[in-house]
Structure 1
Amino acid sequence: MSDVGVDESGEQGRTLTLSVPEMDCPSCAGKVERSVDRLEGIEAIEPRVTSGRLAVTYDPTATSDAAIRERVRAAGYEVADEDGERTFSVPGMDCASCATKVENALEGVDGVETIETRPTSGRVTVTGDGDVDADTVRNAIESAGYEAHSLEDSTDEPVARARAVWATPRGGGTALGGVLVAIGLALEFVFPGLDPTLATALGREYALSHVLFVIAAAIAGAPILRNGYYSARNRSLDIDFLMTIGIVASVVAHHPKEGALLAVLFSVAELLERFSMDRARDSLRELMDLSPETATVTHGDGSEETVPVSELEIGDRVVVRPGEKIPADGTVRDGESAVDQSPITGESVPVDKTAGDEVYAGTIADSGYLEVTVDSPAAESTIARIVQLVEDAEREKTDREQFIDRFASVYTPIVVVLAAAFVVVPPLVFGGSWSYWFLVGLTLLVIACPCALVISTPVSVVSGITSAARNGVLVKGGRHLEAAGETDVLAVDKTGTLTEGDLSVTDVIPLEGADEEEVLELAGAVERRSEHPVGRAIVGYADEQDVGADDGDEHGTASDLAVSNFEALAGEGVRADVDGDTWYVGKPDLFDGLADLAHVHATTDGGVSLAAMGYETTPQCSRADCLDVLESVVPDLEAQGKTVVVVGTEDRPIGVIGVADEVRPEAAWAISRVQEQGVRVVMLTGDNEGTARAIAETVGIDEYHAELLPEEKLQWIRRLEGDAGDGGHVAMVGDGINDAPALATATVGIAMGAAGTDTALETADVALMGDDLTRLPYLFELSEKANGVIRQNIWSSLAVKAVLAAGAPVGIVTVIHAVVIGDMGMSLGVTGNAMRLANVEPETPPTHEE
């Protein structure tokens, strides 16, 4: 990829950025740099080892891209191919036939290597070596009969927005043709006495109705004939080419009525199909319209300025007032407000945001004033990435789409040949009527077009994916949507998935005359300097209970206790001097190893009595008796799925604290709903056996596997796939980072809480944008229904085509039936059926009052 720039001397230079994956160390970079520097005209070389890229600024009159690439290879490193990519808006390309015509026109363009047409969004993406010339590609698309605009060079919307189909010239021509056909039919069948005979310049006489039919065919069929010309020019055996043959042949063979009906009805079908496709495109536009077009930027002097969102820069401070949309991803710097995040995460309840909290573009400040510092440009916001990923979901065809494409490529030529045979063979061999068998062949010609069949899958996929995105579920492609609906086993991570992912204190058990407040105060004082999640949970709980107060120390110590000589004991806990005494907060094993442990007194007053909890204690116990007490308390807490922390000095433990990761309130309901859908649920966790068992029992999972390393989770995914048998699908839901190997190995990887997380958005097959497990059963329900809709569309299209083809030779099915039912009817039918997926909504779990 090359960009033209200006160097310090004022001369124009060119910067070439290459991908060199194997350049992964400073030594490699030096070798490449020295090799490239041998060329004349090299102005600057910037090796970027971290990303494996090399930026070279050079004088294009002295050297070239090819020479630089060759010097990189001479250093022993391969240059990865990086294709130039351009995307064009093609509003008129709204069906599979149109897409094929565009593809054929682009195949001969120099430099173009791959072509991706997306009729659902009206876009064409081409890639090739270096920068693909936009004008050349645009001219090729226009040679196929379609207007095109480069999205990079214009302000066109990413998804084509066409005006109302009935207000287009084609809509007007179709209406006029329909009126002429109606008049002609009335003259021929209702008022034959009013149908005069007209003489032509060639001396032949025709009834007025005949002339009206010819004029109607010319007016309504003009766009069809134009598209048919481009189809023939690009060697595309599509519906426009077939209809052109049908219309022209009908008029030439003195069947203008059939030709006119064919032109009018097919034009109506095309307009209705475009109307239906606009409805599918609207679902994509709804996502794009979430972000506001302007933002209010506040300056240091207190003044405000309204600017386009696209002009916002990182670090700008924007003002968001009640009811306004947040214009960019950023961090709240001032103010507080409840924010409706449903456009991003699907959460139905607004989330309170205050200073320091992260907010997303497209979300709405419900009730308060916010000042937000912009953290990312508009093009890189969470909503922008969601829109891009939803659009890109069209690129990869599903297995069913690939099958239909192969089927149509065989089906259409066969039926066309069959239609020609019916026109010629019966009259020549059996003496049949040329007029009758011509109409049979014409009918089969219409039936030959597989339009409804070809659009049946993509329109369903787009409808399902955009519906999911509006409800906080990002599906990265049609094949993932299909696969999720065929899931046999769901592997579930524990931490951050079934649980909140945030530790909290659940139990405080004082020992030896201490009370609960003293245990918390000492533990909080020692742990304030710790970065460990358990320590932060203890400090947070102490603050919630209003134990002690911050004395203003830079670290923030509790109460008036003087803390010094803090030390983290790796894998065991922490140690610090508090008011001259050394205190420990850590695992029970830490206290087992302290040599000077003397004795422990069980509490008899104040705090929580161990005796009241059912433990046998003595007022003054020996070291052995003390350990017996701890050995009774600790296993019980661990059996409940809690992490145990002991607080004390070398010889005097004063309390035990239980810390746990709370189970999500909706977890049990979500798991039960997934199981009701026939999916086997297995929990995979790296936590201890006791914790795993407790969490599994709480949420209703019968099968779990604990103390697993990341690679062991991956092995379990493969084992579960083996259990599911050939064709079995295993989905994995996790946090998207720690579970990356397992997520990548599973048939469908599902990331929790992906909003604002680049890694999860990029790596997961499916991303649940909010930390909401209710979206899990919704995903499986939507996917299953999408698969059902796709099957219905495919088989109904095939069945209708088969019935119509069988009825044509015996005269039961005419051209009118073929157009109205086989083309227009089925296209509307499959599109309408696909739009039903927009009505699938997530269930809300019932609330349980305590």
Structure 2
Amino acid sequence: MASEMKLRIYGMDCAEEVTLLKRELLPVVKNEERLGFDVLNGKLIVDLSGTDVTEGDVLAAIERTGLRSEHWRDRSETTDDQSFWQQHQRSILTTVSGLFGLVGLVIQLALGGETESVPISSIVFYSIGILAGLVLVLPKAWRSLFSLRPDMNLLMSVAVVGAVLIGEWFEGASVAFLFSFSLLLESWSVGRARRAIASLMDLSPPTAHLRDQTGDVKDVAPADVPVGSVVVVRPGERIPLDGRITKGTSSVNQAPITGESVPVEKENGDEVFAGTINGDGLLEIETTKAADDTTLARIIKMVGDAGSKRAPSEKWVEKFAAVYTPVVMVVALLMLLITPLAFGDQWSGWLYRFLVLLVIACPCALVISTPVSVVASLAAAARNGVLIKGGVYVEVPAHLKAIAMDKTGTLTQGAPRVIDVVPMNGHDEAELLTRAGALELNSNHPLAKAIVEETRSRGMTIPPADNFVTIQGKGASGVIQGKPFWLGSHRYLEQRGQETPEVHQQLESMQEAGRTVVVVGNDEHVCGFITLADAIREETRDAIAKLHEAGVEQLLMLTGDNEGTAKAIAKEAGIDEVHAELLPEDKVTAVERLVEQHKHVAMIGDGVNDAPALARASLGLAMGAAGSDAAIETADIALMSDDLSKLPWLIHHSRRTLSIIRQNIAFSLAVKALFVVLTFAGFASLWAAIAADMGASLLVIGNGLRLLKS
């Protein structure tokens, strides 16, 4: 039996449908935590693990709500298999409702004259208009009444019926039309939001140019390309799958995945992502992942699933709406029963105000605003190279007071590079580097690779080393152009007895500054030394400064490296506090102390040893491009470009999201409060209340979608 059901629910455009589904599904699954609702995508996730509930039980419960469901199909259109009537019934019925209501009004004005009575012909047209406006609503209203759980559909139905009973046929027809029109606009605007967000993530090309075993190239779907195959990517095309370049060089626009604004030069052996855009070179790429496991596919899946992981604001709004609606209904009922008796007024006038308050009790504009804002925020972040794994994590960065950071691969580049070349005793930099390059040419040690890379980057030719010997744990020696040379550490220099006080002082000073020193010499003297370090990333200093400006009170470095190196990097980067020579469990302890002190704490790292600390922090962030799978899977947010400058961007983006959510909530409540006051004062009408509610829904959705332009 499947442990999880993913269903598309047609017509789930508002909190009312969510409430309706919960009403039927909760008795079946017993626990609300097993239900995940993504209103924006019309998606329902039901966790059936550890239960004896079958898929048939769930589908039967959904059928009782009157909503239509089908098994979720990723990236499929919701209207693919719908008939014309299913696609357009709300539009048709709304048009009929409006036209017949208008005809009824024209007849009433033409035949009624100054009389208060409504002509029979007008009543007929009004009735058809009302029926067309409510035909999709009445079944839901009946189920709501039968279960004694009033919802928007029941409130509107009662308002229309009440208007008819007191002879306000035009008001009743207006409310039926406006309510149907508001549902149509709401469905359209939510659909527009779905399409806008889906288009942001629709980056995969439909075909891949696969080179088969005979060498021929044929077009196939990316899903049909086996891992390890070779695909050809022509200039200007999107790369169909994650892989490694085996032939060709080109610049690749990685903005869709990493958010980098400048194309990155790629050559043999470099990794590329699906969905990124090839520049002007022809590339051959060996695929490393299947279509459903690429970085892009994982991003799309995470953004798609993120809508069901609700943000704190969403949960608050839902709880508020659950209290707000019945409270307003009780107030309306008390007003209807008590006020006419207390003031001796006519019942009909207060009955009308009662109906207006029923319309105001509808919480839809309030509830729909938050999920739209959250999912728009998630999609915008993904396009900027920041993968947020759920709405629950969108608001956390806005509150951060402390951030702990790993050193290697996070603050630094994660690989050593040559910092200083210090020749001595008549040698020059070129001679020193070429001698060191010759002795390190065949070594796989990171320091050796850095020296060889530096030598080649300066355009120098590396001579061969004869009689090459590796001195285990100490260095290497060989004969270069007929003369013996050796290379090794400070300790090896001491063992050789060739160290002078001047050299010793220089080497100690470099090591205290966090540099690793490689000494080069011959049998006569020390030729010089080369210092290397894991250099900080170009953006690190600026990112740290911006984090301080953003109000982060404490920035810490947590590293397993030695204290001298850690302090040197921290000073260069602008870090407040350093904890060095830590084991993974020590990092967890340090993060726990921070959480106790500041409550809202983030940990950012890239290695397997960072995963426990990432899990313990209030918010775990991973360096996504070069980070380990363990760190990326554990983290709540991944920086796909390994760009620390995205961290202050994320904090400001989170605050902007929170600000827009608060604006939407405040605006929705202000509209409700205004109409409550106007209703008591006798200045509100049914059609104006529902028009205001409809307008509020559209405005808060539009305001939330502004986040797509972040």
* Residue among 11, 32, 35 paired with 1:115: 35
Instruction: Choose between structure 1 and 2 for higher RCO, CA contacts under 8 A separated by at least 6 residues.
Output: 2
Q: Is the 8 A contact 1:104 1:235 kept in 2?
A: no
Q: What's the CA shift for 1:783?
A: 0.5
| Structure 2 residue 652 is the aligned partner of structure 1 residue 731 | no
Q: Deviations over 1:153-210 (max 9, x none)?
A: x98359999999998221122123223323333444587449998xxxxxxx844333
Q: What's the CA shift for 1:480?
A: 1.7
Residue of structure 1 equivalent to 2:394: 481
Residue of structure 2 equivalent to 1:96: 15
Q: Is the 8 A contact 1:297 1:305 kept in 2?
A: yes
* Residue among 711, 721, 725 paired with 2:595: 721
Q: Deviations over 1:635-668 (max 9, x none)?
A: 3333544222223468843321111223322222
Residue of structure 1 equivalent to 2:71: 150
Structure 1 pair 162–243 and aligned structure 2 pair: CA distance change class (3 A): farther
* Residue among 156, 166, 177 paired with 2:97: 177
Structure 1 pair 351–178 and aligned structure 2 pair: CA distance change class (3 A): same
Residue of structure 1 equivalent to 2:185: 272
Q: What's the CA shift for 1:382?
A: 0.6
Q: More displaced, 133-142 or 669-678?
A: 133-142
Residue of structure 1 equivalent to 2:258: 345
Note the 1:575-586 alignment, pairs <5 A.
575-576=476-477, 578=479, 585-586=487-488
How many residue pairs get aligned? The number is: 706
Residue of structure 1 equivalent to 2:703: 833
Q: Deviations over 1:520-543 (max 9, x none)?
A: 334333333433322221122233
Q: What's the CA shift for 1:122?
A: 0.8
Structure 1 pair 737–582 and aligned structure 2 pair: CA distance change class (3 A): farther
Q: What's the CA shift for 1:835?
A: 1.6
Answer with 1 or 2: which has the greater Rg. Answer: 1
Structure 1 pair 756–253 and aligned structure 2 pair: CA distance change class (3 A): farther
Tell me which amino acid in the other structure corresponds to 2:707.
L
Residue of structure 2 equivalent to 1:406: 319
Residue of structure 1 equivalent to 2:156: 243
Q: What's the CA shift for 1:230?
A: 4.6
Tell me which amino acid in the other structure corresponds to 1:719.
R
Structure 1 pair 102–564 and aligned structure 2 pair: CA distance change class (3 A): same
| Structure 2 residue 170 is the aligned partner of structure 1 residue 257 | yes
| Structure 2 residue 238 is the aligned partner of structure 1 residue 325 | yes
Distance in 1 separating the partners of 2:383 and 2:105: 49
Q: More displaced, 353-362 or 162-171?
A: 162-171
Q: Is the 8 A contact 1:337 1:369 kept in 2?
A: yes
Q: What's the CA shift for 1:347?
A: 0.8
Distance in 1 separating the partners of 2:441 and 2:609: 27
| Structure 2 residue 481 is the aligned partner of structure 1 residue 560 | no
Q: Is the 8 A contact 1:195 1:209 kept in 2?
A: no
The SS at the match of 2:518 is strand
Distance in 1 separating the partners of 2:558 and 2:617: 16
Tell me which amino acid in the other structure corresponds to 2:153.
D
Structure 1 pair 352–253 and aligned structure 2 pair: CA distance change class (3 A): same
Distance in 2 separating the partners of 1:294 and 1:100: 42
Tell me which amino acid in the other structure corresponds to 1:168.
H
Q: What's the CA shift for 1:108?
A: 4.5
The SS at the match of 2:228 is coil
Distance in 1 separating the partners of 2:501 and 2:78: 70
Residue of structure 1 equivalent to 2:656: 785
Q: What's the CA shift for 1:473?
A: 0.6
* Residue among 475, 486, 491 paired with 1:589: 491
Q: What's the CA shift for 1:446?
A: 1.2
Q: Deviations over 1:389-437 (max 9, x none)?
A: 1122222223232222222222222222332333344456765323212
Residue of structure 2 equivalent to 1:360: 273
Distance in 1 separating the partners of 2:558 and 2:437: 29
Taking only aligned residues, the RMSD between alpha carbons, in angstroms, comes to 3.2
Distance in 2 separating the partners of 1:159 and 1:329: 31
Q: Deviations over 1:109-159 (max 9, x none)?
A: 48998222211111111121479755553443233222222126x983599
Tell me which amino acid in the other structure corresponds to 2:349.
Y
Residue of structure 2 equivalent to 1:444: 357
Structure 1 pair 737–286 and aligned structure 2 pair: CA distance change class (3 A): farther
Note the 1:403-442 alignment, pairs <5 A.
403-427=316-340, 431-442=344-355
Q: Deviations over 1:350-378 (max 9, x none)?
A: 11222222111111112121222222111
| Structure 2 residue 306 is the aligned partner of structure 1 residue 393 | yes
Q: What's the CA shift for 1:720?
A: 3.2
Note the 1:512-591 alignment, pairs <5 A.
512-549=425-462, 559-569=463-473, 573-576=474-477, 578=479, 585-591=487-493
Distance in 1 separating the partners of 2:266 and 2:53: 45
* Residue among 794, 819, 824 paired with 2:665: 794
Q: Is the 8 A contact 1:100 1:236 kept in 2?
A: no
Distance in 2 separating the partners of 1:737 and 1:355: 27
Residue of structure 2 equivalent to 1:137: 58
Q: Is the 8 A contact 1:116 1:395 kept in 2?
A: yes
Structure 1 pair 233–309 and aligned structure 2 pair: CA distance change class (3 A): farther
Tell me which amino acid in the other structure corresponds to 1:813.
A
* Residue among 685, 688, 691 paired with 1:820: 691
Structure 1 pair 631–490 and aligned structure 2 pair: CA distance change class (3 A): same
Q: What's the CA shift for 1:802?
A: 2.4
Note the 1:369-380 alignment, pairs <5 A.
369-380=282-293
Structure 1 pair 783–564 and aligned structure 2 pair: CA distance change class (3 A): same
Residue of structure 2 equivalent to 1:699: 573
Residue of structure 2 equivalent to 1:667: 540
Residue of structure 1 equivalent to 2:45: 125
Q: What's the CA shift for 1:805?
A: 2.0
Q: Is the 8 A contact 1:588 1:646 kept in 2?
A: yes
Q: What's the CA shift for 1:439?
A: 1.1
Distance in 1 separating the partners of 2:416 and 2:383: 31
Residue of structure 2 equivalent to 1:23: none
Tell me which amino acid in the other structure corresponds to 2:590.
W
Distance in 1 separating the partners of 2:629 and 2:179: 47
Distance in 2 separating the partners of 1:563 and 1:227: 89
**TM-score, L = length of structure 1:** 0.77
Q: Is the 8 A contact 1:287 1:387 kept in 2?
A: no
Q: Is the 8 A contact 1:498 1:663 kept in 2?
A: yes
Tell me which amino acid in the other structure corresponds to 1:713.
K
Identity of aligned residues (%): 41
Structure 1 pair 820–519 and aligned structure 2 pair: CA distance change class (3 A): same
Q: What's the CA shift for 1:341?
A: 0.8
Distance in 2 separating the partners of 1:135 and 1:371: 48
Structure 1 pair 411–169 and aligned structure 2 pair: CA distance change class (3 A): same
Q: Deviations over 1:491-544 (max 9, x none)?
A: 333322232223211222233444434433343333334333222211222333
Distance in 2 separating the partners of 1:196 and 1:167: 41
The SS at the match of 1:107 is helix
Q: More displaced, 96-105 or 634-643?
A: 634-643
Unaligned runs of 5+ in 1: 2-82, 198-204, 550-558, 600-625, 841-850
Residue of structure 2 equivalent to 1:809: 680
Distance in 2 separating the partners of 1:756 and 1:678: 27
Q: What's the CA shift for 1:757?
A: 5.5
Q: Is the 8 A contact 2:43 2:72 kept in 1?
A: no
The SS at the match of 1:500 is coil
Distance in 2 separating the partners of 1:481 and 1:155: 23
The SS at the match of 1:328 is coil
Tell me which amino acid in the other structure corresponds to 1:352.
E
The SS at the match of 2:367 is helix
Distance in 2 separating the partners of 1:628 and 1:794: 72
| Structure 2 residue 632 is the aligned partner of structure 1 residue 765 | no
Distance in 2 separating the partners of 1:281 and 1:536: 49
Tell me which amino acid in the other structure corresponds to 1:801.
K
Distance in 1 separating the partners of 2:254 and 2:81: 27
Tell me which amino acid in the other structure corresponds to 2:475.
V
Q: Is the 8 A contact 1:224 1:263 kept in 2?
A: no
Distance in 1 separating the partners of 2:638 and 2:338: 59
Tell me which amino acid in the other structure corresponds to 2:8.
S
* Residue among 555, 560, 573 paired with 1:682: 555
